[in-house]
A = this chain, B = another copy of it.
Amino acid sequence: MSAINAQNATEAIDLCVLANRILANEGLFDGFGHVSVRNPENPQTFFQSCSVSPEFVNHDDILELDLEGNVVTKTDKKPYGERVIHSAILKARPDVNAIYHGHPFEVIPFSSLNIPIRPIIYPGSMFYEGIPLYDAYDVSCGMLVTSKEEGARLARVLGMKRGLIMRDHGLVVVGENVPLMVNGAIFCRDNAKVQYQTLALGANPKYISYEEGYEAFRKVTNDLTVSRMWDYWVKRVRKSNMAIERREYGR
């Protein structure tokens, strides 16, 4: 999958901007939420937008941060308050190079009712090993994860999984690279939507089994499939006039 792995910091920044735009275009972001991409030139830092809404992130919004959540870039721009979600996971998971955090409505009922999300559509098999629930908030942080302690705790609950839902709050999805993270975020939302509709209609749906999911995971994450989907998301965001080359839009 080398073609879709960032080879240097410039490519990582490009992918970070594009991932923000793509995920907004596919409905994975409201005004809040964020993306991070590890720096291929220095795995102890990562790239992330300053505090602006993902739909409107531009290249000059991207900051470099370290794995304690400190801003390395010399700038007056403010980072996201919840950047510790990203720094804590990137510290705990050397296999992860890209992270999504957002608030798709589709996952909230599962988090509030503590109903596990299980694969019920083919691409949902990306999550065949399960999606843990985070419900260990510091009450004084007001449902946000803004302290290093809570970031580390969230990373522990995530463990080696690919996604995590936060009670009454949202979703975290990680990937080995940006396209896998983007696919994971979109497919997790889609799977939750279909699982919701199914459970609202009847009990005991026949989910994709662990063994089915094990095989399907390998299909949906192979190089060819990931490249094809990435090509699709990029074409769609360009078609929506939200592409990078028009990033002056809205100013």
Q: Which residues of A contact B (CB under 8 A)?
A: 30-31, 51-53, 55-56, 78, 103, 105, 108-109, 112-115, 119-122, 125, 135, 137, 139-144, 167-170, 190, 193-194, 196-202, 204-209, 211-212, 215-220, 224, 228-229, 231-233, 235-236, 238-239, 249-250
Q: Residue A109 contacts which of B144, B202, B217 (CB distance < 8 angstroms)?
A: B202
Complex CA–CA separation, A90 to B249 (angstroms)? 38
**What are 29 inter-chain pairs, A to B, with CB distance below 8 A?**
A30-B190, A51-B228, A53-B232, A55-B235, A56-B232, A103-B122, A105-B197, A109-B194, A109-B198, A109-B202, A112-B120, A112-B207, A113-B204, A115-B201, A120-B168, A122-B143, A122-B168, A125-B143, A135-B206, A137-B212, A139-B209, A140-B215, A141-B215, A142-B212, A143-B215, A144-B216, A196-B197, A199-B201, A200-B201
CB distance from A246 to the nearest CB of B (A): 10
A202 cross-chain contacts in B, Cβ below 8 A: 109, 113, 115
Contact B109 A53 (CB under 8 A): no
With A and B bound together, what is the CA distance between A142 and B212 in angstroms? Answer: 6
What residue of chain B has the Cβ atom nearest to residue A197's Cβ? Answer: B109
A194–B206 Cα distance when bound, in Å, is 22
Describe A's contact surface by its main secondary structure: helix
Knowing that A113-B198, A119-B168, A200-B201 are A-B contacts, what are 15 other residue pairs whose CB atoms are under 8 Å apart, sorted by A's residue number?
A: A51-B224, A56-B235, A105-B121, A105-B190, A109-B201, A109-B202, A109-B205, A113-B206, A122-B170, A139-B212, A139-B215, A142-B215, A142-B218, A168-B208, A239-B249
B206 touches A168 (CB 8 A): yes
Are B142 and A219 interface neighbours, CB within 8 A?
Answer: yes
